[in-house]
A and B are shown apart, each in its own frame.
Chain A
Amino acid sequence: KQEVTQIPAALSVPEGENLVLNCSFTDSAIYNLQWFRQDPGKGLTSLLLIQSSQREQTSGRLNASLDKSSGRSTLYIAASQPGDSATYLCAVKVGAQKLVFGQGTRLTINP
């Protein structure tokens, strides 16, 4: 059974810092990995999708990496801003189009 773990559960940093969020999964047989952000009381916003054959994806200040063999992904956020405050969720796609989610990292950027 695929399990996804995100560390840390919560993170608070001053504005402007670069930071890394971690995601690990137990079964390397994944189709892809997707990072989302969730604002309080809201749905999910897709940030980055990494296919199983890829090593990383970039979008603006965000960079996500994937090491399938070790079951790890990282989300790097450069020059953090207060608007980046949200919960960040990692999810891996397994058979039949099912996403398995981690518990999320609650990020707070302090002005």
Chain B
Amino acid sequence: SAVISQKPSRDICQRGTSLTIQCQVDSQVTMMFWYRQQPGQSLTLIATANQGSEATYESGFVIDKFPISRPNLTFSTLTVSNMSPEDSSIYLCSVIRGTDEQYFGPGTRLTVT
């Protein structure tokens, strides 16, 4: 399995501001993934973060809005920029271990007012 921690666990932010979410994994991984879960919806992949290269974004997500850093093999950050109420979601970090099994962090619950 994998032990994944995220900070903050929740936050309430004002429109127009930015929030950086941190994800820490208990051991080195090649790829880290960021997912979003909007209220009442299922999870959607935002981007894949590899160490030493730019993140790969899914359709509908752009780097200017969701910049990602991956400074080493156990850590990543996702920034939600220029927030609007539509960004209110749970943001989850994820990694792959073992035989391609995917594990998720506890999530960051973001509310934008």
Binding site for B on A (CB under 8 A): 31-32, 34, 36, 41-46, 49, 51, 89, 91, 93, 96-99, 101-104
Q: A interface, by DSSP: helix, strand, loop or mixed?
A: strand
Question: Are B99 and A43 neighbours in the complex by a CB distance under 8 Å?
Answer: no
Question: Are B105 and A43 neighbours in the complex by a CB distance under 8 Å?
Answer: yes
- Distance A89 CA – B35 CA, assembled complex (angstroms): 14
**Stretch of B42-50, B63-71, B78-86 lying at the A interface:** B42-50
Q: What number of residue pairs across chains A and B have CB atoms under 8 A from each other?
A: 55
**A43 contact from B1, B33, B92, Cβ within 8 A:** B92
**B101 contact from A34, A41, A98, A104, Cβ within 8 A:** A34
A103-B48 contact in complex given A42-B107, A97-B33, C-beta closer than 8 Å: no
> Smallest Cβ distance from A30 to chain B, in angstroms?
11
- Asked if B102 is at the interface (CB within 8 A of a chain A CB), the reply is yes
Residues of chain B with a CB closer than 8 A to A104's CB: 42
Residues of chain B with a CB closer than 8 A to A51's CB: 99-100
A44-B92 contact in complex given A31-B100, A34-B101, A99-B102, C-beta closer than 8 Å: yes
Question: Are A97 and B43 neighbours in the complex by a CB distance under 8 Å?
Answer: no
**A96 contact from B42, B56, B99, B101, Cβ within 8 A:** B56
- Quick one: closest B residue to A48, CB to CB? B101
- Asked if B96 is at the interface (CB within 8 A of a chain A CB), the reply is yes
Residues of chain A with a CB closer than 8 A to B103's CB: 46
Binding site for A on B (CB under 8 A): 1, 31, 33, 35, 41-45, 48, 56, 58, 92, 94, 96, 99-107, 109
- Distance A37 CA – B39 CA, assembled complex (angstroms): 17
A-B contact pairs, 30 of them (CB 8 A): A31-B100, A32-B100, A34-B101, A36-B104, A41-B109, A42-B107, A43-B92, A43-B104, A43-B107, A44-B43, A46-B1, A46-B101, A46-B102, A46-B103, A46-B104, A49-B99, A49-B100, A51-B100, A89-B43, A91-B43, A93-B102, A96-B48, A97-B31, A97-B33, A97-B96, A98-B48, A99-B33, A99-B94, A102-B42, A104-B42
Question: Are B42 and A89 neighbours in the complex by a CB distance under 8 Å?
Answer: yes
- Quick one: closest B residue to A4, CB to CB? B42
